[in-house]
Structure 1
Amino acid sequence: MAESTEDRYARWAWIHETAVMTGWDFAALGSRLVADEPPWDFDLTCAKAMARSMPCLDMGTGGGERLSEVVKRVSTVGGFINRRSSVHASEGWKPNLELATSALAEYGIEVREYDSETGEAMPWPDDFFTLVMNRHESYDPAELARVIAPDGGFLTQQVDGTEASEFRHWFGGAPQAPENRLEPCIDGLEAHGFTITDADEWTGTMEFADVEAVIEYLAYIPWDVPGFTVAGNREALDRLAARSSPIAVTQKRFHIAAER
């Protein structure tokens, strides 16, 4: 028996309502999401920096998955972490905070709660870190300048705030952080005493196998289309479902290396 239109909408709504992100992992989408990768290897850059810079901090560590892998890679680039307590992590989302605390315990890494968007001070003293790493996490340049010691470094890879414009075209809304772009971020760091040693930006593509993968992804990343519902976007979803080719969305990334 063919699925009715209303049953299809109900199934789509169920997908959106039940999809829950665990850590920072899109594995549930499997091959239904294929994403290009930037030409640089940010994790390798972090591992090389960790090999010569302690103590260090990983901001917005998610569920600790990435930091675990970076710590393992340190030995492959000629480094050795002989004092695990020299590695620290922060996370602002409580469900991930619990996951990261558990995942990183075996490495002796303490995870503290911190979200720069609250405006609160970072929970470490002045000049505490030689290196701060940040992948796709917000940050406060003034706080970075406070906790990073003189001659210390900051490494960040960011999602450009204007990426995935296709979503806004299809479903409405506006970019949530249009100011999060390479040049404004460079300006902000330089204004707080940092010297930029490397920076680059990149544009690529994400491809979704079908409209259901798009719906699930938007449940994981709700800030891309705030307030998205299946009921409010039926016509747009029907148009996407009618496509015979993968559904493509633009990715934008940039990275910055800075010294204090």
Structure 2
Amino acid sequence: MKLIDQLLQDAQKSFSGWDISFIEDTGRIQYELLPWSYGSEARKYLFEANSLLDMGTGGGEFLSKLLPLPHYTAATEGYLPNVPIAKERLEPLGVEVFQIDIDDELPFAAETFDLVLNKHESYSVSEVKRILRPDGLFLTQQVGGTDCTALNELLGASVNTAYQDWKLQTAAEELAGQLVVLEQQEAFPSMRFYDIGAVVFHLKAIPWQIPSFTIEAYRDCLMELHQFIEKKGFLDVKQHRFLLAAARK
């Protein structure tokens, strides 16, 4: 079996939640460091919170590491396969997990939370404001609209232009209309792939990058990319991240 066939077959390994440790823990993918730490930012605001909501908790991987949690902690998740994973991980910790379908109808009373965390999840500014208590804080790290578009271009896939304007300036202006923006940062760190199997596994885990992706449909382009990585040793693409913290006054 050729190396590329082995790598592509290897990339079919299943995963759950947003756990891509199969390629991260083996060093097959590496990330340039951000100029901030979302975890440290969350910790900074968490100490004074008596109630917490984690929006888009995935499988609860991040939230479960923020112990001890506030007296009332809840989490939402919109991706159905993640919901039972999140419940299994978080409910023993006393966290209520809610499956949601839309961002502007969250199942919480007004002024419920001191802190709302949101990592890489969509949100409605007006709904976030509604559920925050006075002086409550909203912290979000977002994936910008130009994230990893080089992968689309290299594989001959179209780029979703609907989100091209999703960036720090746009999000900060939206938040400033209803909340007081306290912090804002933006970065374009590199993500490095060391083999074509890691690229394919990443595209499986992040299906919205190339919604039409299958190995069969993109095999010729994957072969060319494999040869490029074999020659250079790696493939770098630019991510797009931004961080915002805002308060309800």
Asked if these proteins are the same fold (TM beyond 0.5), I'd say: yes
Question: 1:209 is matched with which residue?
Answer: 194
Deviation at 1:11, TM superposition (A): 7.2
Question: 2:116 is matched with which residue?
Answer: 132
**Residue 76 of structure 2 is aligned with which of 90, 97, 102?**
90
Deviation at 1:251, TM superposition (A): 1.3
Question: 2:131 is matched with which residue?
Answer: 147
Could you report, residue by residue, the CA deviation over 1:122-146 in whole angstroms, capped at 9, with x for unpaired residues?
A: 0001111111000111111111111
Matches within 5 A, 1:184-195: 184-191=170-177, 193-195=178-180
State the Cα RMSD in Å. 2.1
Matches within 5 A, 1:94-109: 94-109=80-95
Matches within 5 A, 1:176-191: 177-191=163-177
Looking at structure 1, the residues matched to 213 and 104 of structure 2 have their Cα atoms a distance apart, in angstroms, of: 30
Looking at structure 2, the residues matched to 222 and 242 of structure 1 have their Cα atoms a distance apart, in angstroms, of: 24
Deviation at 1:50, TM superposition (A): 1.4
TM-score, structure 1 as length reference: 0.86
Question: 1:61 is matched with which residue?
Answer: 57
Counterpart residue type for residue 218 of structure 1: L
Q: How high is the sequence identity, in percent, across the aligned residues? A: 32
Superposed structure 1 runs of 4+ greater than 6 Å apart: none
**Residue 164 of structure 1 is aligned with which of 133, 148, 164?**
148
Deviation at 1:226, TM superposition (A): 1.4
Unaligned runs of 5+ in 1: 75-80
Give the conservation status (yes or no) of the 8 Å contact 2:103–2:127: no
SS at match of 2:58: coil
Matches within 5 A, 1:218-233: 218-233=203-218
SS at match of 2:76: strand
Deviation at 1:19, TM superposition (A): 4.1
Question: 1:77 is matched with which residue?
Answer: none
Question: 1:259 is matched with which residue?
Answer: 247
Looking at structure 2, the residues matched to 131 and 214 of structure 1 have their Cα atoms a distance apart, in angstroms, of: 35
- The aligned length equals 241
Counterpart residue type for residue 21 of structure 1: F
TM-score, structure 2 as length reference: 0.89
**Residue 173 of structure 1 is aligned with which of 138, 152, 158?**
158
- Please state if 1:32 is matched with 2:25: no
Looking at structure 2, the residues matched to 56 and 159 of structure 1 have their Cα atoms a distance apart, in angstroms, of: 22
Could you report, residue by residue, the CA deviation over 1:84-123 in whole angstroms, capped at 9, with x for unpaired residues?
A: xx111111112211111111122211111124xx355000
SS at match of 1:130: strand
SS at match of 2:50: coil
Looking at structure 2, the residues matched to 247 and 179 of structure 1 have their Cα atoms a distance apart, in angstroms, of: 25
SS at match of 1:45: helix
Deviation at 1:209, TM superposition (A): 1.1
SS at match of 2:201: helix
Looking at structure 2, the residues matched to 167 and 106 of structure 1 have their Cα atoms a distance apart, in angstroms, of: 39
SS at match of 2:107: coil
